[in-house]
Amino acid sequence: MEKETTEEKRNEMKETGSMKLDSNNRKHNVRLLTIIGEIEGHEGSSGTAKTTKYEHLLPMLAAYDENSEIQGILFILNTIGGDVSCGLALAEMISGLKTPTASFIIGDSHSIGVPLAVATDFSCIVPSATMILHPVRMSGMILGAPQSYDQFEKIQARIVDFIIRKRGLTKKHVEELMMNTSMFAKDLGTLLVGGQAVEEGLVDKVGTLSDVMDYLKQCPH
């Protein structure tokens, strides 16, 4: 039975990037979910790209939130961003969970990875990890028309509004970070390393996995 359980956990980790963290003498029941690589959208990414499939995470989150035995959900982030619509939908889903949540940024949390990082109740970043805020981009052919600009503006406003709601920052502050012209030679935006993300109000703490687990363990069960 123990062998089967171990094999089930291994398969679950391989297929969905999730794991049940309950093998401890204190019987804390925390679920681990990874958000790694590119956030895959309505179209599949290339076969060689590391992706997070939001359509896999949504039903899992709904099931976790209805399970009273789960004490918290830990999201480990190392993502370059990806599909804006799907990433923001996932961030809204995380934000609305009643189960305590925490994000742990261990590598990158770029682009739409920023709303995902701030969607949780508590956030933590390692000293070497980075966050990048930049204006919305689109791939493929884009018509140079006023309507295209309006579409970009509305998409970006949704992202800015989400960050404001979750972190209590001003619209001016978030947009200044996004539209910064002094950091990148060929792009707009701001790169924040470790404690800089805390100083700008995007993350709660610079720390380690232990800090994140301690937060979830003390949450009411």
Domain with residue 121: its CATH number is: 3.90.226.10
Q: How many angstroms separate the CA atoms of 216 and 26, rounded?
A: 13
- Cβ atoms within 10 Å, residue 6: 11
Tell me what pLDDT residue 10 has: 52
pTM reported for the whole predicted model: 0.84
What is the distance between the alpha carbons of residues 131 and 114, in angstroms, rounded to a whole number? 7
85 catalytic, yes or no?
no
pLDDT reported for residue 4 = 45
Nearest to 51 by CA among 72, 34, 37: 37
Pick the catalytic residue from 85, 134, 148, 210. 134
Annotated catalytic residue within 103, 109, 110, 111: 111
Is-catalytic flag, 111?
yes
What is the chain's pLDDT, residue by residue, as a tens digit (221 residues)?
Answer: 444 455 555 555 555 556 566 545 556 789 999 999 988 877 666 667 788 888 889 999 999 999 999 999 999 999 998 889 899 999 999 999 999 999 999 999 999 999 999 999 999 999 999 999 998 866 555 556 666 667 768 888 999 999 999 999 999 999 999 999 999 988 899 999 999 999 999 999 999 999 999 999 998 76
pLDDT at res. 1: 47
- Region of 141 please: left (phi>0), alpha (psi -120 to 50) or beta: beta
Domain that holds residue 168: 2-218
Nearest to 166 by CA among 127, 106, 205, 123: 123
Do residues 110 and 85 make contact, with C-beta atoms less than 8 angstroms apart?
no
Tally of domains within the chain? 1
Q: In sequence order, what are the residues at sequence separation of 6 or more whose Cβ sits closer than 8 angstroms to the Cβ of residue 118?
A: 91, 103, 162, 163, 166, 167, 202, 203
pLDDT of residue 11: 55
